[in-house]
Amino acid sequence: MNIAAGTKLEPEIIIDDLTVVFPSNNGGDPIKALKNINLEIGQGEFISLVGPSGCGKTTLLRTIADLQNPTTGSISIRGLTPKQIRMEKKFGIVFQSPVLYDWRTVRRNVCMPMEIKGLPKKHRTARVTEMLEMVGLYKFGKQYPHELSGGMQQRVGIARALAIDPEILLMDEPFSALDEFTKEKLHEDLLNIWRQTKKTIVFVTHNIQEAVFLSDRVVVLSPHPGRVSAVIDVNIPRPRALSIKRSAEFNALVAEVRSSFEGV
């Protein structure tokens, strides 16, 4: 199928005929979470995976991250397997919840991946400061996570994910628990961070507007079994201001994504 078109950029992640099957718990048929996924993600690209619940978008993200094994097919990242990339600590992941350790201050949470990587202390301290300044939380470094709002906590999560300078940033519905205003602020922040860091970002969401606003391309997945039903280019120029959400172009793209949802 031609839907699985490649990227115009240098491909960084190549997903080749990926199928993931979960064994059934209660003796029924095994569940096909993903079926024959073909997708190329370019270097420095911001790509979103959207789709209804059960379409396998989180499974796809987890398989890229080597938190889930493929049943058949393969994923190659810069010519290496996801496991090799994971062992090299080149992934930064932001989960649905911030997953901050409540016994660590904000600074020490951001520092944690660098401790695991064994980076020298001087470097860690400087990097934590840099990361917290980037997400606008420098003043909150000595606070504990529960003293921050949900949006601030998620920003700490982003700072932590970027602390070890990963090659790929994987985000699994990171803003779904936040209110609309916080979400929009974080969208702008994330795009700024992306422009500064030039990371490849794979962003999972069920929010179509969010996907269109943020992404270079939106990949629509359909459920049962999870497969790619459309790949939509978002050619809105950057930097994008929040005001583009009122533009005809933006709304046409949102409608296009939505219609490929409904076509499922």
Residue 229 makes CB contacts below 8 A (sequence gap 6+) with: 3, 51, 220, 221, 222, 260, 263, 264
Measured distance CA(86)–CA(96) in Å, rounded: 20
> DSSP characters for 26-56?
SSSPPEEEEEEEEEEEETT-EEEEE-STTSS
**Shortest Å, Cβ 102 to another protein:** 5
What is each CA distance from 38 to 45, 193, 225, 226, in whole angstroms? 17, 28, 14, 12
Closer to another protein at the Cβ: 174 or 225? Answer: 174
Closer to another protein at the Cβ: 86 or 206? Answer: 86
**Shortest Å, Cβ 19 to another protein:** 22
Beta bridge partners of 115: none
Q: Are 125 and 114 in contact (CB under 8 A)?
A: no
Beta bridge partners of 32: 21
Q: Are 101 and 109 in contact (CB under 8 A)?
A: yes
Which tokens sit at 138? 């420098």
**Shortest Å, Cβ 131 to another protein:** 15
Closer to another protein at the Cβ: 51 or 157? Answer: 157
**Shortest Å, Cβ 29 to another protein:** 27
Closer to another protein at the Cβ: 95 or 138? Answer: 95
Residues at the site binding another protein, with contacts judged by CB under 8 A: 65, 67, 86-89, 91, 93, 95-97, 99, 101-105, 112-113, 115-117, 144, 146, 164
Closer to another protein at the Cβ: 42 or 82? Answer: 82
Closer to another protein at the Cβ: 122 or 146? Answer: 146
Q: Are 138 and 132 in contact (CB under 8 A)?
A: yes
Q: What phi and psi values does residue 232 have, to the nearest 5 degrees?
A: -115, 125
**Shortest Å, Cβ 130 to another protein:** 19
